[in-house]
């Protein structure tokens, strides 16, 4: 679908990753697809700076034909007050971005969670510039925080976030969701019926390249986690599982290793936990740029996706890392209680209850007991699954269709 009136799009995403950046690259990947289709794309994200530099002007970069506007935000550690200030500051600064800074007079503005203040900044820009607004839901706030025990159901912060959520949904010409079971929730919360479109995370196979596992025998069995180290990933349960394996006689003579790659507020605590348990089978490394993920992932025998136990996952999950794991053709241990389970659907790994270290140990033992050929078959199913439904060019076309539809309606 094409659109002659479309000139450009501006997307606001606090946790944006650029070329060679660490973290989720969803918007960078989709933007490259849109640029190939003659769109002008501006991405607005955050860059961490010392407190004294938080008032400095945004940094402008142009990569692969995409304009990046990096808003300076104060550095923080952990999930406390510093993170709250960081989010507030980004929302305020992003909401006052000028057309000159954006470098485009967009046809449409997209505001994306995680967190709603970033999406709210997108709505403010759309209102100011009199452009249609698209709300992208990557995480349901505040319900996620309520279900995880971070907010009280009827607390003041919860009520404020719900008010923002309703405003975003009611003012959106379209709602793009990454959560396959969220449509009814979003409509009940204010979205216009039939305005909700599911566009999941995807894989750019020009960047992530499948690498078959070596048939050469080796002494160790490597389970890998690549991604953010935050509370929402429940990684301490993996460390506890590593401690159990250390003393489980079934693993005698087998070197099972857990490799963590990434950064985040919980990393220091995880390292300390591994040190307290004197775990020689747990290793931590820095975050990996997207272009290097495939090379690191080629050393894995299997990957682990770990999520907390939370009611909100009934709407689905959206971790970019899951589809990256599957694209690398390895089995995945899926520690999550969502009924939207790509690993079960594709038959490409083992599903266990979240936050259950012993259950994770049993899953590791199950994979270890398989023949290399059987594990390779699971990996092949994973790869086939993402090629069929998560190829980035297909998803980029779907996003263009949404944007063109929204812009066309605004000209009627």
Q: For residue range 41-62, what is the model confidence (pLDDT) as tens digits?
A: 999 999 999 999 999 999 999 9
Asked whether residue 408 carries a pLDDT value surpassing 90, the answer given is no
- The CATH label, of 3.20.19.10, 3.40.50.720, 3.40.50.2000, 3.40.50.620, for the domain at 220-389 is 3.40.50.2000
Question: Does residue 356 register a pLDDT over 90?
Answer: yes
Q: pLDDT confidence of 39, banded at 50, 70, 90? A: very high
Do 8-202+391-411 and 220-389 fold alike per CATH? yes
Structure confidence at residue 210 (pLDDT): 67
Across the chain, which distance is largest between two alpha carbons, in Å?
Answer: 70
- Helix axis angle for 116-129 and 156-171, nearest 10°, is 40
In the chain, the percentage of residues whose pLDDT exceeds 70 is 94
Check residue 13 and give its pLDDT: 96
Integer CA distances (angstroms), 43 to 18, 159, 214, 364, 407, in order: 9, 29, 39, 40, 18
What is the tens place of the pLDDT at every residue in 188-216?
A: 999 998 999 999 999 988 877 766 665 55
pTM of the model: 0.89
Task: Answer whether residue 108 shows pLDDT above 70.
Answer: yes
Q: What is the dihedral of CA 84, 189, 344, 386, to 10 degrees?
A: -80
Name the CATH superfamily, with its identifier, for domain 8-202+391-411.
Glycogen Phosphorylase B; (3.40.50.2000)
Q: Between the ranges 81-85, 86-90, 205-209, where is the mean pLDDT highest?
A: 86-90
Q: Which of 120-124, 196-200, 317-321, 395-399 is predicted least confidently?
A: 317-321
Q: What is the dihedral of CA 27, 28, 30, 33, to 10 degrees?
A: 160
Residues 322-337 pLDDT 10s: 999 999 999 999 999 8
Whole-number pLDDT of residue 345: 95
User: Can you tell me the mean pLDDT for 148-161?
Assistant: 88
Is residue 79 pLDDT above 70, yes or no? no
Percentage, residues of the chain above pLDDT 90: 68
Q: Each residue of 305-320: pLDDT tens digit?
A: 998 888 878 888 878 8
- Which is higher by pLDDT, 318 or 68? 68
Q: Residue 159: pLDDT above 80? A: yes
* pLDDT given for residue 292 in this prediction: 83
What number is the average pLDDT over the span 103-118?
93
Q: Is the pLDDT of residue 1 over 50?
A: no
Separation between Cα atoms, residue 335 and residue 215, nearest integer Å: 28
pLDDT greater than 70 at residue 178: yes
The pLDDT of residue 269: 92
CA atoms within 13 A on the CB side of 38: 8
* Domain residue ranges of the chain, discontinuous segments joined by +: 8-202+391-411, 220-389
pLDDT value for 214: 59
More confident residue, 4 or 393: 393
Q: How far apart are CA 1 and CA 404, in angstroms?
A: 8
Q: What is the mean pLDDT of residues 49-77?
A: 93
């Amino acid at each position: 679908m094409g659109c002659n009136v479309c000139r450009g799009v501006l997307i606001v995403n606090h946790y944006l990753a650029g070329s060679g950046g660490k973290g989720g690259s969803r918007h960078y990947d989709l933007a490259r697809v849109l640029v190939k289709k003659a769109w002008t794309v501006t991405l607005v994200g955050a860059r961490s700076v010392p407190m004294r530099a938080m008032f400095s002007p945004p940094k402008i970069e142009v990569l692969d034909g995409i304009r990046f506007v990096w808003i300076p935000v104060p550095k923080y550690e952990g999930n406390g007050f510093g993170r709250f200030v960081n989010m507030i500051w980004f929302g305020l600064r992003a909401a006052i971005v000028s057309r000159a800074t954006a470098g485009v007079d967009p046809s449409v503005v997209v505001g994306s969670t995680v967190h709603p203040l970033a999406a709210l900044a997108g709505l403010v820009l759309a209102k100011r510039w009199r452009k249609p607004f698209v709300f992208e839901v990557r995480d349901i706030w505040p319900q996620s925080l309520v279900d995880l025990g971070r907010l009280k159901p009827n607390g003041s912060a919860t009520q404020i976030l719900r008010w923002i959520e309703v405003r975003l949904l009611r003012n959106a010409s379209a709602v793009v969701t990454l959560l396959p079971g969220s449509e009814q929730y979003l409509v009940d919360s204010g979205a216009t019926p039939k305005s909700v479109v599911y566009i999941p995370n995807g894989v750019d196979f020009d960047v992530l390249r499948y690498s078959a596992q070596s048939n050469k025998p080796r002494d160790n069995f490597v389970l890998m986690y690549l991604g953010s180290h935050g509370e929402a990933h429940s990684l301490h349960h993996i460390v506890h599982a590593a401690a159990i394996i250390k003393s489980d006689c079934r693993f005698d003579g087998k070197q099972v290793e857990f490799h963590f790659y990434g950064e985040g507020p919980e990393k220091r605590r995880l390292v300390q936990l591994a040190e307290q348990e004197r775990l020689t089978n747990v290793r931590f490394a820095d975050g990996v740029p997207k272009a290097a993920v495939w090379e690191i992932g080629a050393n894995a025998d299997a990957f682990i996706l770990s999520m907390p136990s939370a009611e909100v996952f009934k709407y689905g999950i959206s971790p970019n890392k899951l589809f990256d794991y599957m694209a690398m053709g390895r089995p995945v241990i899926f520690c999550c209680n969502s009924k939207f389970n790509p690993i079960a659907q594709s038959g490409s790994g083992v599903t266990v209850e979240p936050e259950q270290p012993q259950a994770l140990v049993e899953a590791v033992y199950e994979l270890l007991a398989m023949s290399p050929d059987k594990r390779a078959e699971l990996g092949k199913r994973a790869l086939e699954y993402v090629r069929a439904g998560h190829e980035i060019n297909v998803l980029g076309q779907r996003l263009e269709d949404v944007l063109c539809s929204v812009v066309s309606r605004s000209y009627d």
